[in-house]
Amino acid sequence: MLCWIALLAFSCDSSSTGGSSSSSSKANLDPDVESRIDGIMSKMTLDDKVGEMTQLSIDALSYGEPYQLDEPHKLHLDKMQEVLVDYKVGSILNVGGHAYTKEHWEEIITTIQDYAVNKKASGIPVLYGIDAIHGTNYTVDATLFPQQLAQAATWNPELSKIAGRVTAYETRASGIPWTFSPVLDLGKDPRWPRLWETFGEDVHLSSKMGEALVKGYEGDNNEIGDKEQIASCMKHFLGYSVTMSGKDRTEAWVPERMLREYFVPGFKKAIDAGSHTIMICSGEMNGIPVHTDKKILTDLLKNELGFDGIVLTDWEDIKYLYSRHRVAENDYDAIKLAINAGIDMSMVPMDLSFTKTLKKLVEDGEVSMSRIDDAVRRILRVKIKLGLFETPVTSYKDYPKFGGEEHAEASYKAAQEVITLLKNEDGVLPLSKSGKYLVTGPTANSMNYLNGGWTNTWQGDKTDWNTEGKKTILDAVKDKVGDGNVTYVEGTTINEAKNISAAASAARGKTAAIVCLGEHTYTEFVGNLEDLALPKAQLDLVNAIAKTGTPIVLVFAEGRPRVFSAVEPKVKGVIMAFLPGNEGGRATADVLFGDVNPSGRLPISYPRHVNSLVPYDHKRTAMVHTDFSMEAVNPQYPFGYGLSYTTYEYSNLKLNTEKWDGKSPLEVSVDVANTGDRDGKEVVQLYTTDYVASITPSNRRLRAFDKIDLKAGEKKTVKLTLDARDLAFVGRDLRWVTESGKFAVMVDKLTQDFELIANDNLYFEE
Ligand code: BGC
């Protein structure tokens, strides 16, 4: 069989030793940095080393109890001495309960680094990490961006890159050089409570957005020592998002074929983009907690993918190996399993048990010194590259743009492209600015529901730290049409009726009712759900208003697509705002009243039925049995869908060849015309399908896309290219392969067949 490219074995070899990074990654290491590490490590004791591998929460350094720190927050100097000097803990994370001011951050980080650098013998600075996932969301008055799923709806990676850059700047302004972002788990299950933290259900879109965000955080050349860049942390490797139950941190069963074809590529792209750290999945996959899976952590991640950065546990996950997963009896066994599998740093996160026990494991010969040295080398590599030895603390005083107008504008621009128009019957939208409106529903007058989780607090459910002056949807609608033309009635909370009949009476005689629905704020297990349908109270609100005959426009602010098919026929307009962030209210009103022509497109399938949660790239078997009055795959709105206030016409889909040898790129071109009377942005989406393949081909797969500006009446020819690798799938022998044969390229409603004629199948590396 002809193989064009030498291939690495796909079935991971469990006999390979933990601890070494692949030769390919070694080739990329900077010799100056490596020799500096040699110098530092030559002076380090075992205590220094196990300390470096420990990460504790700020709780462990503060007055109060873990999870319940005293207010106002204050560092406890005795604890600092014990943790940072006596036990030499190398990394601290998190915030104690709620966002801090940038001044308080500076005080905290300065004090911590003073202990690490001046009081600890080795003088190695601390690596502080934070969940800055949609802006620097744990610093008061930082710029808050749309959450990741919302960003994916823009189909504009450049906007995510800008979000990353601003976040890097403002995180450095808070004295912190490391964010636990992006999430690269594929959002294939709409029930999952972290769906909104993902870039959606498609591998290609998610990989492109993830790559852009990494570059935004780290810089085009990953110059993380620059004081305006930070280190990123890809998470949660691997298979986290597809639990059987749809609930957080429950079991997942993912065959290797699927793992490699769907779940590895997003991480691979970000590793190739230079991301410096990675966090491991808290769950268990195929009966093995990922934190103990050497095949995943060492063979695949470090050796095959060549990752040379820090492999970090998620929260308390080594302890969970005995308290939850039951693959170990105690801390000793759990730490041994995890470190030998390839973990470099443990997010313990509250006590010194890991540090003490790891030392004992080394002394007992259960963990090798070479494994420890590999981990410490990786940690020091990141600390050196971040410039922490030279500048352990950055000061907010050097970051005048923190939380300012320029950054708010970047968030606003992104939010404008997030807003996705899903229904516009009888051209109900855009609404007239001279009308009178009812604004109602639980998400109409809340900044928290626009921002979601990880906003000032973990769950994002407190209002105390919200940025002053930001506009809810209600505020922004009032700005468009004047206070006197808006009646606001809450109608319902997220789950309970409040004054539905008052809302219905207020709807009478109005130009339209803007009904703002959605979800409460949540993340992780707190967002586990029993029913994906929109809560009954919200459906009741729509039904009651529908009876008045006033046209209804629904606006969803939600992290998951809550099923609302029961009322969908009763509404004229539907807008999906996702979790658009602090500027999302303004952006929503811009679209409602036509100041912005919507250009968001769904990065997920919006389901119609709670038992039909099939992603768009399903197999053809998902569509059979329609003859027996069963519905084929029929989402409420498909992946990639979104309307505009103008119209686009596609024509002239052409390939440079219909008999392709797969050696040079296949060039695809298509004409796109704006045939309406408004300027707009269109997302040109290119899908392919394989007619016949040795593994059942997907119905269609997104292979390329481009977001273009088109003026009213303008026509452009869009060119996209495909490599043979773009059509590859993971075959029966677990190798990436593109098989010769017939394919179709699909753009909008146009289809063009071509044939790949190679002498044999084409194989590719991971
Ligand atoms: C979450 C991670 C997060 C970490 C640190 C965990 O519970 O799963 O996504 O980065 O906490 O806050």
Total structural domains within the chain? 3
CA 53 – CA 63 distance, rounded (Å): 24
3-state SS class at 238: coil
Does residue 385 sit in the same domain as residue 433?
no
Cβ(178) – ligand 1 distance below 6 Å: no
| Tokens describing residue 577 | 């705002």
Cβ(249) – ligand 1 distance below 6 Å: no
In a domain, 119, yes or no: yes
| Tokens describing residue 639 | 């992946």
Share of the chain above pLDDT 90, in %: 93
User: Does residue 160 contact residue 213 with C-beta atoms inside 8 Å?
Assistant: yes
Cβ(560) – ligand 1 distance below 6 Å: no
Does residue 617 sit in the same domain as residue 753?
no
Find tokens 């498909």 and name the residue. Answer: 638
Specify the residue with its C-alpha closest to ligand 1, atom 6.
315
Does residue 588 sit in the same domain as residue 680?
no
In a domain, 662, yes or no: yes
In this predicted structure, the answer to whether residue 296 has a pLDDT above a threshold of 50 is yes
CA 407 – CA 384 distance, rounded (Å): 29
Tens digit of pLDDT for each residue in 354-400? 999 999 999 999 999 999 999 999 999 999 999 999 999 999 999 99
What CATH number is given to the structural domain containing 281? 3.20.20.300
Concatenated DSSP letters for 377-414?
Answer: HHHHHHHHHTTTTT-S---GGG-TTTT-HHHHHHHHHH
Going by C-beta distance under 8 Å and a sequence separation of 6 or more, which residues neighbour residue 159?
A: 151, 413, 414, 417
Q: What is the pLDDT of residue 628?
A: 66
Cβ(458) – ligand 1 distance below 6 Å: no
Catalytic residue list contains 314: yes
Segment 527-531 shows an average pLDDT of 97
In a domain, 86, yes or no: yes
Q: What is the pLDDT of residue 15?
A: 32
Pocket test for ligand 1, best of 279, 313, 457 (most atoms within 8 A of CB): 279
Segment 205-232 shows an average pLDDT of 98
Q: CA nearest 559: which of 23, 30, 147?
A: 147
What CATH number is given to the structural domain containing 510? 3.40.50.1700
In a domain, 302, yes or no: yes
Q: How far is the CA of 23 from the centre of ligand 1 (A)?
A: 31
Does residue 459 sit in the same domain as residue 355?
no
Tens digit of pLDDT for each residue in 576-586? 999 999 999 99
Write down which residue in 623, 638, 660 finishes a domain.
Answer: 623
Residue of 141, 293, 299, 314 with catalytic role = 314
Specify the residue with its C-alpha closest to ligand 1, atom 7.
315
Q: How far is the CA of 525 from the centre of ligand 1 (A)?
A: 11
β-bridge mates for residue 130, sequence order: 179
In this predicted structure, the answer to whether residue 418 has a pLDDT above a threshold of 50 is yes
| Tokens describing residue 91 | 């990394």
Q: What is the pLDDT of residue 2?
A: 31
Does residue 391 sit in the same domain as residue 433?
no
Atom of ligand 1 lying closest to residue 233 CA: 10
CA 535 – CA 546 distance, rounded (Å): 17
Cβ(131) – ligand 1 distance below 6 Å: yes
Does residue 96 sit in the same domain as residue 243?
yes
Find tokens 């020799």 and name the residue. Answer: 35
In a domain, 380, yes or no: yes
CB atoms within 10 A of CB 166: 26
Beta pairing class for 64-65 and 68-69: antiparallel
Largest CA distance in the chain: 80
Specify the residue with its C-alpha closest to ligand 1, atom 8.
314
Does residue 392 sit in the same domain as residue 423?
no
CA 171 – CA 639 distance, rounded (Å): 33
Does residue 149 sit in the same domain as residue 85?
yes
Share of the chain above pLDDT 70, in %: 95
Does residue 695 sit in the same domain as residue 663?
yes
CA 231 – CA 371 distance, rounded (Å): 23
Beta pairing class for 573-576 and 420-424: antiparallel
Q: What is the pLDDT of residue 758?
A: 85
Does residue 434 sit in the same domain as residue 514?
yes
Banded model confidence at residue 8, pLDDT cuts 50, 70, 90 = very low
Segment 673-688 shows an average pLDDT of 98
What's the distance, CA 522 to chain centroid? Answer: 15
Specify the residue with its C-alpha closest to ligand 1, atom 10.
180
Q: CA nearest 201: which of 622, 700, 632, 709?
A: 700
What CATH number is given to the structural domain containing 725? 2.60.40.10
Residue 552: domain span: 419-623
Q: What is the pLDDT of residue 150?
A: 99
In this predicted structure, the answer to whether residue 677 has a pLDDT above a threshold of 60 is yes
Cβ(59) – ligand 1 distance below 6 Å: no
In a domain, 521, yes or no: yes
β-bridge mates for residue 553, sequence order: 514, 573
Give 449-482 as a 3 state SS string. HHHCCCECECCCCCCCCCCCCCCCHHHHHHHHHC
Banded model confidence at residue 627, pLDDT cuts 50, 70, 90 = low
- 79: exposed, middle or buried (C-beta count within 10 Å: 0-12, 13-18, 19+)? middle
| Tokens describing residue 41 | 């490590």
Does residue 183 sit in the same domain as residue 265?
yes
Total-model pTM: 0.96
**Which amino acid, residue 227?**
K
User: Does residue 754 contact residue 724 with C-beta atoms inside 8 Å?
Assistant: no
In a domain, 718, yes or no: yes
Banded model confidence at residue 630, pLDDT cuts 50, 70, 90 = low
Write down which residue in 571, 590, 623 finishes a domain.
Answer: 623
Q: How far is the CA of 460 from the centre of ligand 1 (A)?
A: 14
Rounded to 5°, angle at Cα 626 from 621 and 632: 60
Q: What is the pLDDT of residue 363?
A: 98
CA 323 – CA 331 distance, rounded (Å): 9
**Which amino acid, residue 551?**
P
Cβ(314) – ligand 1 distance below 6 Å: yes
User: Does residue 546 contact residue 507 with C-beta atoms inside 8 Å?
Assistant: no
In a domain, 508, yes or no: yes
In this predicted structure, the answer to whether residue 16 has a pLDDT above a threshold of 70 is no
Mean pLDDT of the chain: 95
CA 552 – CA 515 distance, rounded (Å): 7
Q: What is the pLDDT of residue 623?
A: 79
Does residue 222 sit in the same domain as residue 352?
yes
- Of the segments 13-17, 630-634, 713-717, which one has the largest average pLDDT value? 713-717
